[in-house]
Amino acid sequence: QVQLVESGGGLVQAGGSLRLSCAASGRTFSSYAMGWFRQAPGKEREFVARISRSGGITLYSDSVKGRFTTSRDNAENTVYLQMNTVKPEDTAVYYCAADDPVTGSYNYADGRQYDYWGRGIQVTVSS
């Protein structure tokens, strides 16, 4: 089983930047496309970003496109979410998730496509 641990969250002012990291256990990290999701208080879980196994393809929700960038370092078993020009509406618990390619038949933005989840980390953007 893949274990995922997010880090790098915290409090940041609107307009600022923050970088989240997600460290994965195991020896097969590069076998998984990785996703970022977030959940704000009182709201449903929301897709944020996805990165392919090699890092060559990234996908973003419209709400973060142009502001957030996801990347990965397979040698370090780590995926990143660089959050720039953050807004108060970005306040949420952020989760990283791993997509086992042999399972699932959902859209990439559907959390059900993902097989392993981190515990989440709080990001708070102050105005």
pLDDT per position as a tens digit, 11-49: 999 999 999 999 999 888 999 999 999 999 999 999 999
Q: Kindly report, residue by residue over 87-126, the tens digit of the pLDDT.
A: 999 999 999 999 999 998 999 999 999 999 999 999 999 9
Cβ atoms within 10 Å, residue 45: 14
Q: How far is CA 118 from CA 15, 27, 36, 107, in A?
A: 26, 17, 10, 20
Cβ atoms within 10 Å, residue 51: 23
CA 93, CA 39: separation in Å to the nearest integer?
5
CB 94 within 8 Å of CB 86: no
